[in-house]
Homo-oligomer: A and B are copies of this chain.
Amino acid sequence: MENNKNNVNKETVLALKDAIELLGGKWKFCILHNLQNYGTMRFKDLKETSQGISPKVLSKELQELEENQLITRTVNNTKPVTVSYKLTKHATESQPVLKALIDFGLKHRKKIKEK
C-alpha cells in the first residue's frame, strides 16, 4: 500500500460519504428514478410506483430530498389538494449515479442467474 494518494483520497472520501448520506437508505434512489422517468409526479403516483413504501416513509423521504434541494414540492390549487414533486436542476447530477447503479444491478442479476 503506497502513501502518495492520501491527499487526493481525503477529499474524494468525504465526497463519497456526503453522497451516501444524501442518497442512502432504501427508497431515495427509487424515488429519484421514478421522478426522472415520469417527470412531475404527485404523492399518490409516487406511492404507487415505489411499491411497498408507506405514506409515512414516503413523506419523510420527500422532505429530506427537498431539504437537500434535489426535488421541489408544489401544492396545486385542486380539490382535493394535490401536491406535485419534480427534480431540481441540481438533481440531474444524480442521474449518472442512478444509471451506474442500474447497470451494475443488471450485470449482477445476469451473473447470479448464470449459476
Using a CB–CB cutoff of 8 Å, the interface residues on chain A facing chain B are 1-2, 5, 9, 11-20, 22-24, 26, 29-30, 33-34, 37-42, 45, 49, 68-69, 90, 93-94, 96-109, 111
Copies in the complex: 2
Closest residue of chain B to A5 (Cβ to Cβ) is: B37
Interface centre among A15, A29, A33, A34 (most CB of B within 10 A): A15
Q: Shortest Cβ distance from A115 into chain B, in angstroms?
A: 10
9 closest A-B pairs by beta carbon, nearest first, are A15-B105, A19-B105, A96-B100, A97-B100, A18-B105, A19-B101, A15-B106, A100-B100, A1-B38
Closest residue of chain B to A15 (Cβ to Cβ) is: B105
